[in-house]
Amino acid sequence: DTDDIETEILVLGAGPGGYSAAFRAADLGKSVTLVERSPMLGGVCLNVGCIPSKALLHAAKVIEDAEAMAEHGLGFAAPQIELEKLRSWKESVVEKLTGGLMALAKQRKVKVVHGAGRFAGSRELEVAGEGGTSRIRFEQAIIAAGSSPATLPFIPVDEPRILDSTGALEIADVPERLLVIGGGIIGLEMATVYHALGSQVTIVEVMDQLIPGADADLVAPLMKRIKERYAAIYLETKVTAIETGETLTVRFDGKGAPDIDQFDKVLVAVGRTPNSGALNLEAAGIAPDERGLIPVDAQLRTATPNIFAIGDIVGQPMLAHKAVHEGKIAAEVAAGKKAALDARVIPSVAYTDPEVAWVGLTENEAKAKGIAYEKAKFPWAASGRALSLGRDEGMTKTLFDPETDRILGCGIVGTNAGDLIAEATLAIEMGADAIDIAATIHPHPTLSETFAFAAEMFDGTITDLM
C-alpha cells in the first residue's frame, strides 16, 4: 500500500455530480477526498459530453447560418474546414473548464486522488492508481461514478470506423456517409455537427419519432428541416447487423429502410449504462437494480445509510444539471443539513438546429396519466425576432391547469429554445399562473416574448392565433 487516507466525506467520481458534491461539502466545513480514475476532473460532461459537443455545435451553427444568409443577399465562400484547428479550439474550451476545476478543488482544500476506486467495506475504498493501491477510510461517501455509452450486441468491437459519442467528438475525419444509430439527443446533436461539416447523414431510430421523450409537435419542425438535408431518416427501424469490409455494410429491419446499405462510419448512440459494475458495491452493502442503477431515497441515500449516490448512476434523466443539483443535496445531507430532492421539474434540451426543449408536464405524459390540461401554442411565424433571424419555424407551447391557470409544463422548439426554457422552469418552480407570465413585461423584440404570448393566448387576450 502506498497511501492511507482518512476523510470525513469521500466522493467517488469527479463529473458534474461529484465535483459539485465535493465543493459543497468542503464549503460546509467537511474534509473531502475526491477520487477520479481519469487524469482530468469534469467527468463526461466537461471532457466528452456537454461542453465539447456544444463547441462543435457552435461551429455547425456558424456554417448553417452563413449558408442560410446566401439566399438573402449575404453570400460567403464555402467554409474552409481545418479539422485540426477546430479540434484544438474545442480542446482548449474543455481545458479551460477542467483546469478551473483543479483550481477550485485546491482552493477548497479538497484532496484529489487519481485512480479507480472500489469499495472494500461500508467505510473503506481501495484506489488503484499509478503508484499502487491506496486505502481511503471515510465516514460518509457520495458515489458519483456516472455512466458510459451503451452498445448493441452485434456491434463489432475494435472497429475504428464504429464510434461512440466519445469517438465522434474527436472528429478524426469527416466521413462521406455517416450512419447514426439512435435518434435521441446525443445522436441528433452529433448528426448536426457532422452534417454541417459535410457528411451525408442517415439516422435510424427504433421508435416512431426522433427524441422519443418529447411531444411530437415539438419534434416536427426539427424533423422537417433535417429530412430535407440529411440522406435519410428511418423510424421504427432497427439495425440488425454490421459487416466490416472496405465499407461498413449495415442491415436494417423496418419501415421504409433498405435491407442493406453502405456507410463509411457508424455512430452508436443508443443510450448510456451506469458505471456501477466495477465499484464492488456488495462490499458496501449496496445492490444496484437490474439496469445497474443505484436505488436512492429523496435524500440521495442508498440502502447503506452513510453512503449516497447521485447523477447518471442513479438514473434518468441522465443530465448534468440533475447531477449537480443532486450532488449539492447529498453533500448538504451528509453535512447534517435538512435537505432533500424537491425539484418540481428538470428541463431537457436537444441542442439540435432548431433546438428542442421541454420542462414539466408533456402532452404525452398528461394523456398517459389522465391529467387535465389546457394548452396555448404560440407560432414563431408571428414573432418579429424569429422572422428577423430568418428562422420562424419555431413554436412555444405551454400547458396550464384548467382549474388554477397555473403553468404545468412548457415545450419550445426553435433557435435558443434551450436558453428560453429556463424561464418556464422558474415559472413552474414559482407556481406562476398564466396572468403572472402574461403580465410580466418581456423585452422586445426577443424570442422570450413568445412565452408571454402563449400565456396571453391562454388568458384570452390574444385569440386570433389560436
What span, in angstroms and rounded, lies between the C-alpha atoms of 340 and 45?
24
Nearer to ligand FAD by C-beta: 257 or 428? 428
Partner residues linked to 397 by β-bridges: 377, 411
**Contact between residue 366 and residue 374 where contact means Cβ atoms under 8 Å apart:** no
How far apart (Å, rounded) are the C-alpha atoms in residues 134 and 111? 13
Dihedral angle sign, alpha carbons of residues 317, 320, 322, 328: positive
Q: What are the DSSP calls for 287-348, one per residue?
A: ---TTSPPP--TT-B-SSTTEEE-GGGG-SS--HHHHHHHHHHHHHHHTT-------S---E
Active-site annotation holder among 195, 325, 442, 444: 444
**Residue closer to ligand FAD (CB basis): 16 or 414:** 16
**By Cβ distance, which residue is nearest to ligand FAD?**
146
- Closer by beta carbon to ligand FAD, 413 or else 462: 413
Q: How far is the CB of 16 from ligand FAD (least distance, A)?
A: 5
Nearest to ligand FAD of 15, 183 (CB atom): 15
Residue 279 DSSP code: S
CB 270 → ligand FAD: shortest distance, Å? 12
Give the shortest CB-139-to-ligand FAD separation in angstroms.
19
Smaller CB separation from ligand FAD, 74 or 278? 278
Question: How far apart are alpha carbons 40 and 388 in whole angstroms?
Answer: 42
- 140 neighbors 25 (Cβ within 8 angstroms): no
CB of residue 94 to ligand FAD, shortest distance in Å: 12
Report, in Å, the least distance between residue 305 CB and ligand FAD.
21
Q: How far is the CB of 348 from ligand FAD (least distance, A)?
A: 8
Contact residues for ligand FAD, defined by CB under 6 A: 12-18, 35-38, 43-45, 49-50, 53, 116-117, 144-147, 165, 186, 275, 278-279, 311-312, 318-321, 323, 351
Asked if residues 401 and 373 have their Cβ atoms less than 8 Å apart, the reply is yes
Question: Cβ closer to ligand FAD: 270 or 452?
Answer: 270
Neighbour-count burial of 440, counting CB atoms closer than 10 A to its CB (0-12 exposed, 13-18 middle, 19+ buried): middle
Strand-pairing partners, residue 241, are 251
Closer of 283 and 435 to ligand FAD (Cβ): 283
Residue type, 126: E
The answer to whether the beta carbons of residues 219 and 232 sit under 8 Å apart is no
Task: Tell the smallest beta-carbon distance from residue 117 to ligand FAD (Å).
Answer: 4
As a whole number of angstroms, the distance between CA 343 and CA 331 comes to 16
φ, ψ (nearest 5 deg) of residue 382: -100, 10
Phi, psi of 153 (to 5 degrees): -60, -30
Question: Active-site residue 72, yes or no?
Answer: no
Q: Which residues are known catalytic residues? A: 444
